[in-house]
Amino acid sequence: MRNILVTGGAGFIGSNFINHILKSRDDWFIVNLDKLTYAGNLENLTEIENNKNYQFVRGDISNRELVNYLFEKYNIDSVINFAAESHVDRSILGSEIFYRTNVIGTTVLLDVAKKFGVEKFLQVSTDEVYGSLGATGLFTENTPVSPNSPYSSSKAGADLAALSYYHTFGAPVTITRCSNNYGPLQFPEKLIPLMIINALHNKKLPVYGDGLNVRDWIYVIDHNRAIELAFEKGKIGEVYNVGASQEMKNIEIVKLILGILGKSDSLIEYVKDRPGHDRRYAIDSSKIQNELSWKPEFKFEQAIVKTVEWYLANKSWWERIIRGDYLKYYENQYGKV
């Protein structure tokens, strides 16, 4: 049995990860440490919250005392760090919390993990640390880190801290850098859920700039299978890029969503561009495919339909988020957090 500290497990990717792990295996005990920021939602985990191999703790990864206490109490042997401030637009409006959580928080986890001599520290990172591509080329693990937004620079800072702990102290760090995720439980500030929900309300769909920026999309389940593999089999001190080679222009996605919902393109509104907007991301994932035998299973055309269907079927989930009372709802249903 492994005792694994999973941080940020009430967010989009982390909650999909914990649900997947606890439904598919019984050899991991998971302590989920999550601050429950605006993006953390315990409703995402109701299916597994009574699992004997699961414990939720509300708290901040930068709280050294708490992290120490959890390592001791649960005999933690490994860490998977999802916790982060994750939204680029918010980092442009105010960056401090990004550096506090993403850089300092990760450093606290690394320090405590070093003290307790963990077996593995998996840092969940992003392709955004590489900066922006032109019309051609792909990010490989050898592409220099060159982040452009406060968000991506804070994630790059966390990656560099993690690698420095490997080089200096031999910490058992492995990093995954993934492209844009989509799927169930994504907070409706990100492109895909925001567009689905606006379209359902017949509200305008705000497309930044010329709408021709490109992202490389991956279904969240494929990302989480890559994290599980990199955690178990990834080499220490190595970075693994994760992506499904599904590049799309933003405007193509928005039109696709409108088509699936049977809504008119007249809902599209071109708005002022995001400052410093990265033009194109595209991932070369051959390393994880060749070394760890990972490959993506979901095709964008099918998984985007599944995703839209999930949002249609889970209206009350996102309505509570939009109203801002999802924590109150959770506590009424399941007890005080």
> Interface with ligand DAU includes 82 (CB under 6 A)?
no
Tell me: does residue 280 bind ligand DAU (CB under 6 A): no
Nearest to ligand DAU of 5, 207 (CB atom):
207
Q: Tell the burial category of 335 from Cβ atoms under 10 Å away from its Cβ (0-12, 13-18, 19+).
A: exposed
Query: Do 85 and 102 contact (CB within 8 A), yes or no?
Result: yes
* Cβ at position 302, least distance to ligand DAU in Å: 20
Residue 86 in the binding site for ligand DAU (CB under 6 A): yes
Torsion of CA 137, 142, 148, 151, to 10 degrees: 120
131 binds ligand NAD (CB under 6 A): no
Q: Binding segment for ligand DAU among 102-110, 113-121, 126-134, 220-228 (CB under 6 A)?
A: 126-134
274 near ligand DAU, judged by CB under 6 A: yes
Q: At what angle do helices 300-313 and 191-200 cross, to 10 degrees?
A: 50
CB of 189 to ligand DAU, least distance (A): 6
Query: Closest separation between CB of residue 20 and ligand DAU, Å?
Result: 19
Give Cα separations from 325 to 36, 38, 212, 336 (angstroms). 13, 10, 35, 14
What's the CA gap between 150 and 98, in Å, rounded?
A: 7
Let me know if 281 is a catalytic residue: no
What CA–CA distance (Å, rounded) separates 64 from 111? 9
Contacts (Cβ under 8 Å, ≥6 apart) of 273: 208, 209, 210
Contact 44, 320 (CB under 8 A): no
Residue 37: contacted member of ligand NAD, ligand DAU, none (CB under 5 to 8 Å, by partner type): ligand NAD
User: Quick check: is 65 catalytic?
Assistant: no
Shortest distance (Å) from residue 251 CB to ligand DAU: 8
Residue matched to tokens 């930068």: 62
Binding residues for ligand DAU restricted to 199-228, rule: CB under 6 A? 206-208, 213, 215
What letter does residue 103 receive in the DSSP assignment? I
Both structure tokens of 40: 């953390």
178 versus 196: smaller Cβ distance to ligand NAD:
178
Question: Which is the catalytic residue, given 130, 151, 166, 182?
Answer: 151
Contact window for ligand NAD (CB under 6 A) among 174-182, 251-259, 260-268, 270-278: 174-182
Q: Residue 234 contacts by C-beta under 8 Å, 6 or more apart in sequence? A: 122, 174, 176, 240, 292
Q: Is residue 241 at the binding interface for ligand NAD, with CB under 6 A as the rule?
A: no
First to last CA, the chain: 27
| Residue 228 contacts ligand NAD per CB under 6 A | no
**Which of the listed partners (ligand DAU, ligand NAD, none) does 213 bind, with a CB threshold of 5 to 8 Å by partner kind?**
ligand DAU
* Site pattern 56..95 for ligand NAD (x: CB under 6 A): ----xxx-------------------xxxxx---------
User: Which listed range, 60-68, 93-101, 121-129, 137-145, lies at the site for ligand DAU (CB under 6 A)?
Assistant: 121-129
3-state DSSP call for residue 55? Answer: strand
Residue nearest to ligand DAU (CB): 126
DSSP assignment letter at 265: G
Residue 151 is among the residues annotated as catalytic for this protein:
yes
Residues that bind ligand DAU (CB under 6 A): 86-88, 126-128, 179-180, 190-191, 194, 206-208, 213, 215, 250, 274, 281
Residues annotated as part of the active site = 127-128, 151
